[in-house]
A and B are shown apart, each in its own frame.
Chain A
């Protein structure tokens, strides 16, 4: 897969020798990824095109155009409004062509459909909780005396001990 990525990168880099082609590639990469991002983020929010249109006081047909990679006439005003609607950041900047190629060969589901701020917060929270639980388990294994009384596993152990005591009695 790494070789495959390198091959693709080399092929695209070689194609940039033609000025006309590299201009076209840069424009079409923006047009394609923008259209895909708008559709995928809308679908992640479980919005219909008409729902998104209503939020931005537009017609459903306008949203349909935005989601068409052949459209390519998104204005900065529209993109800023979409970023607000999806609660994501918008980054517009000039880059060298080498960076464009990197962007093309490093696409991913997350890049095509970036999570909203709320989703990011949720992931951070669940990740912190998961790490905390792992830490507690390590402490639990290394030194049982440090086990938190709120650890469900500790409560389970207490129940087992009570059961065993009852059996002995």
Chain B
């Protein structure tokens, strides 16, 4: 057994795990899809990460990676980045994609703000991803 990338969830200023909150609010099938996908990605070399499971984002979201899943014609997205330490991937923001646009529209800005928050306080502003 060898985990290649450890997944972490972003924790907001109130101590809420925003990733788990979002996942818990989804259709159970969609939640299961995303959690099994995150689990598999932990064991895969980064060179193996590719579409349609993940997508390296460009433009105003350059530096972010989306973990992707589709269920009942809804495109679910979890945005994260490599860090703050080597071998870690932190999930920062969640949403949907419709007609090549991310919803909420400010998901990229939010994600970048959260990268800074995690960098400033990596102990309390992130927690190991909850697979439950």
Chain A contact residues, CB within 8 Å of chain B: 1, 4-5, 7-8, 11-12, 14-15, 18, 20-21, 24-25, 27-29, 31-33, 36, 39-40, 68-70, 104-109, 111-112
A36 to B36, CA, bound (A): 12
**A4-B6, A107-B1, A112-B44 are known contacts. Are A69 and B32 too (CB-CB below 8 A)?**
no
Contacts of B52 in A (CB 8 A): 68-70
Please give the distance in Å from B90's CB to the nearest CB on chain A.
15
Q: Identify the stretch in B93-101, B110-118, B124-132 within 8 Å (CB) of chain A at 4 or more residues.
A: B124-132
Q: Is the CB of B29 within 8 A of A40?
A: no
Are B32's CB and A25's CB within 8 A? yes
CB distance from B64 to the nearest CB of A (A): 21
In chain B, positions 34-48 with a C-beta closer than 8 Å to chain A are: 35-37, 39-40, 42-45, 48
* Neighbouring B residues of A36 by C-beta, 8 Å: 40, 44, 48, 53
Q: Which of A21, A32, A70, A106 meets B28, CB within 8 Å?
A: A21
Pick the residue among A4, A21, A29, A68 that contacts B128 (CB under 8 A): A4
Contacts of B42 in A (CB 8 A): 107
| B1, A5: Cβ atoms closer than 8 Å | yes
Given A27-B29, A28-B33, A108-B2, 17 additional A-B pairs, CB 8 A: A11-B130, A11-B131, A12-B131, A12-B132, A15-B132, A20-B28, A25-B32, A25-B35, A29-B36, A29-B39, A32-B33, A32-B36, A32-B40, A36-B40, A69-B33, A70-B70, A109-B43
Given contacts A18-B28, A28-B32, A32-B36, contact A106 B2 (CB under 8 A): no
Q: Does B69 contact A (CB under 8 A)?
A: yes
Q: Give Cα distance in the complex from A39 to B50, angstroms.
A: 10
**Majority SS of interface residues in chain A?**
helix
Which residues 1-49 of B sit at the A interface, judged by CB distance below 8 A?
A: 1-3, 6, 28-29, 31-33, 35-37, 39-40, 42-45, 48
- Residue contact B28 to A112, C-beta cutoff 8 Å: no
Contact between A104 and B1 (Cβ–Cβ < 8 Å)? Answer: no
A107 partner, pick from B31, B35, B40, B50, beta carbons under 8 A: B40
Residues of B within 8 A of A68 (CB): 52
> In the docked arrangement, what's the CA distance between A12 and B31, Å?
12
Give 19 pairs: A residue, B residue, CB < 8 Å, sorted on A.
Answer: A8-B39, A12-B131, A12-B132, A15-B131, A18-B28, A20-B28, A24-B28, A27-B29, A27-B32, A28-B29, A31-B36, A32-B40, A36-B44, A69-B52, A70-B33, A70-B69, A70-B70, A106-B1, A112-B43
